[in-house]
Chain A
Amino acid sequence: MAASGQEHPIITAPDQLPPEFVSPAAYDKPALALRLLREAVVGPDRFDPAFKEYFRRWAYKHPAPADFFRTIEDGVGEDLSWFWRAWFYTTQQLDQAVDSVTAADSTGVESQIHLRNAGGIPMPVELGLLMDDGSTRRLRLPVEIWYRGDRYVHEDRSGKTLVEAQVNPDGTFPDAVATNDAWKAGDPGLERTSTESSAGDERR
């Protein structure tokens, strides 16, 4: 639905949605957003008490969206403006990409992994690395890496040569474009660098 170009933001009132969009906009996407928030952004140990606190505060009362957003932030201890805005107020997509991998120094063992937030939604990045000795590493980069724009360079200083780098290796996130998720040794260093203009100064 997101890829259809016909999506409506979650915050749209149901009567203002075409009937075929009620299910995705009012059911599926907000449920997916909360699941992502719980499982992949703040973790159940912080999410669950906050979600329970929302029930405790608002049972038999009339909460507005702001009351929900604020209660969750109060409980998880985090300003989630970026999350609510992207998932609930817009139809931005999640599209994280590995643009290229370059050598950070002449020895070739320190690599710079050039990541890009190609869609509009900022999210944490899960990064899977495969080294030339067959070992693998999983890294989790916080959403704050997108504070300064849509590009981020992760330096790998493991001392091993990188042969593969992939974002979202476990399919945790609903990344809309899978073809730009991985880099493999032998790929031209800058092959994947987008020529699209950067939205880097758009503060989200």
Chain B
Amino acid sequence: MNADRLAGGQVETYVMRFLAGLLLLLPVSSLAGQQPTAGQPPDDSTRSLGDVSPFRRLDLPTPNTIRTGTGAPGPDYWQQRADYVIRASLDTVAQTVTGEERITYSNNSPDTLRYLWIQLDQNLFNSTSRGSRLFDQDSRFGTRGAEGGMTLTKVAQPALPAAGGRAAVPAGRLKYLVNGTLMKVDLARPLPPRGSQVLDIAWSFPFGRNSNRMGIELIDESYVYEVAQWYPRLAVYDDVRGWNTEQYLGQGEFYLEYGSFDVSLTVPANMLVAATGTLRNPAQVLTATQRARLIRARTSDSTVVIRGIEEINSSASRPPSASGTHTWRFTADSIRDFAWATARHFVWDAARANGGKTLAMSFYPPSAEPIWNQSTQYVRFAVNNYSSWYRYPYPVAINVNGIEGGMEYPMIVFCHNRTDPAALFSVTDHEIGHTWFPMIVGSNERLYAWMDEGHNTFMNRYNWDKKYPGEYNRRGDPGLYIPHALSGKEASIMTPADRISGNLSVTAYTKPGLGLILLRNHLIGPERFDPAFKQYIERWAYKHPTPADFFRSMEDGVGEDLSWFWRSWFYTTETLDQAVDSVASDSGSIASRVYLRNVGAMPMPVELELVMDDGSTRQLSLPVEVWYGGDRYNLLVPDAKKVVRVTIDPKKLYPDVRRENNVWSGAEKAATQPQGNTSR
């Protein structure tokens, strides 16, 4: 057993054999309590449990030809597609949105569908909604005073011609049933594999007083409208769970199908619109001056003002309209959502990003101008830097200032801060970062918040360091995670957001972000981690990965079974607590033993600093495999110099929750015996 343990260490084998013999000369007392004595009956307590080692393979779903063992989509991977053509108008008097849409839903699954599930997220914003019972009425996710919800005025389909032996169906209304934020639509004719179904839906909804992730704000005597979760949209039908019908309860975000959008938004003529996608009719909705400035911005690294603060009250800053309204048309492809914002008094600026492929823009009310005049540069910074993971694929990247604190949508984000440039940078950088997760890599946010928030927090950490080198960096900060881990209130990262009662920001952001930072910086190293992380994005861009796909894809890329890490860090609330129990080295011997213990259940490599009796120091890095044999490891130090001080993780690379037991000092602890021999 000694030899087995030593084999995991850092010492040459022949040296170990030689020294193992010499160590027998050490007094027995210094080894007491470390090993079961010979002849002691084996411990039967875990015999019936099979392999309970923290290093056993993580049980992931059996791979198949849809999702392979390498973590890549397989040859039979499929996903559904939803294409939207939407016409909507904003009523600024009643403060309502009224819309009509035609959805073309393509069934790429091998299944025949008899009904479709549609998401009506606005139904959360009502005092009778399920979410209203779950979240404190006055919290961010509360719904006090919101008596909103979607009013459906049409759920129909156009005529279906006879096809494949199936009879023609006349145009008509479809039977539907609303259940909270979901609606089941019964199809007039079953939708076969490779078939498509057209749905025509008309609806309206009011803006509530407290509608999260969107909403209205009266600022500088006019309203800023931030419009999201605003159109009926398909629930995801996937190979893993069939229909994903989790209700929108508030804390859990979204899971959406990819497709194209062609959206026409009619608003009062004096309002500017910012939206997902490419503006298709600038000649109708912008002045010649603004169009010229936009062209200039396309080749400018510095911010170009498109409509300045001094122009917002000038009628010349808007093109004339006989009807009193303008209709703005935007199109976009390969996106999973569409959001927009509008206000009478938006200041608007822009600059090029992403090598000229992308226009970075900001829209904000006048009182935000003192710090928001930097917003477009923050957007550029995020787009340019995050493109090193996967190139930003969209034509625009927009930041809008309004009521929402910070929320991401494809090509457009909503950020509220108007007072603190660093805080505005931080939230902008985070929300733009969401372009990669979940806008490009379309995971299920409602079930696995960490797959977008954690991955994004991970990327954010490096961007913050780049922007503010040497300053406190809260992204993935162990100092935020450790107190929560010790609070006894931690939920595992795998817990769906709506079931997390404790600190969502730690569970869904800080801890998973820190996990990836540890993996990259210390466990794997950037040279192996970065290509694997990029490969994960490439493999799953515009697709729907599950946690298993991420874990497998990373293992495939870095070439390492990380079961122990995923299990401990993502599936449990185990903590990291490594300890130096004692050191045995006697005068006259030519080696010392350092007795280490993994007190917490979380395995992690061990960083060690040894101080020898001549004052010299040695740094050692022990691989995580030292814990293969259990929670004890004794390190042989083949040196005639005595070890007088041992420090675990002197640079604090790992989030050890108890530093008191990380240090052993010969002077202080000469008489200290190792603690009880509890093994897992």
Contact = CB atoms under 8 A, between A and B. Distances in A.
Given A45-B177, A144-B498, A147-B499, A79 B245 contact: yes
Given A46-B184, A77-B117, A154-B133, 17 more contacts: A45-B177, A46-B179, A74-B242, A76-B179, A77-B182, A77-B243, A79-B245, A141-B133, A142-B130, A142-B133, A144-B130, A144-B131, A144-B134, A144-B498, A147-B498, A148-B499, A203-B495
A192 interface: no
Interface in B471-501: 491, 495, 498-501
B498 to A, nearest CB: 6
Contacts of A141: 133
Nearest to A204: B499
15 contacts: A53-B114, A73-B242, A73-B243, A73-B245, A75-B115, A77-B179, A77-B182, A77-B184, A77-B245, A79-B246, A141-B133, A144-B130, A145-B134, A147-B499, A203-B499
Contacts of A203: 491, 495, 499
Nearest to B494: A203
Interface string A43-70: 0011001000100000000000000001
A74 B243 contact: yes
A149 interface: yes
A105 interface: no
Interface of B: 114-115, 117, 130-131, 133-134, 137, 177, 179, 182, 184, 186, 235, 242-243, 245-247, 249, 491, 495, 498-501
> For A45, A46, A145, A201, which residue has the most chain B Cβ atoms within 10 angstroms?
A201
Interface in A119-177: 141-142, 144-145, 147-149, 154-155
A201 B186 CA distance: 39
Interface in A50-106: 53, 70, 73-79
Interface SS majority for chain B = mixed
Q: Which 7 A-B pairs have the closest CB atoms?
A: A148-B501, A77-B245, A142-B130, A147-B499, A144-B134, A74-B242, A77-B182
Contacts of B114: 53
A58 to B, nearest CB: 14
Contacts of B500: 148
A47 to B, nearest CB: 11
A145 B134 CA distance: 6
B133 A46 contact: no
B131 to A, nearest CB: 8
Interface residues of A, number: 23
A131 to B, nearest CB: 19
Nearest to B498: A147
Contacts of A46: 177, 179, 184
Contacts of A49: 186
Contacts of A155: 137
A76 B134 CA distance: 21
Contacts of A73: 242-243, 245
Contacts of A154: 133
Contacts of B131: 144
A144 B186 CA distance: 27
B130 A78 contact: no
Nearest to A70: B242
A182 B186 CA distance: 42
A78 B179 contact: yes
Contacts of B249: 144
Given A142-B130, A144-B133, A149 B245 contact: no
Contacts of B133: 141-142, 144-145, 154
A46 B491 CA distance: 33
B485 to A, nearest CB: 14
A1 to B, nearest CB: 30
Contacts of B246: 79
A69 to B, nearest CB: 11
A88 B114 CA distance: 28
Nearest to A53: B114
Contact of B501 (A70, A79, A149): A149
Nearest to B501: A148
A78 to B, nearest CB: 6
A70 B186 CA distance: 18
A144 B498 CA distance: 9
A148 B115 CA distance: 32
A46 B175 CA distance: 13
B450 to A, nearest CB: 16
Nearest to B245: A77
Nearest to B134: A144
Contacts of B498: 144, 147
A201 B115 CA distance: 37
Nearest to B246: A79
B115 to A, nearest CB: 8
Nearest to A148: B501
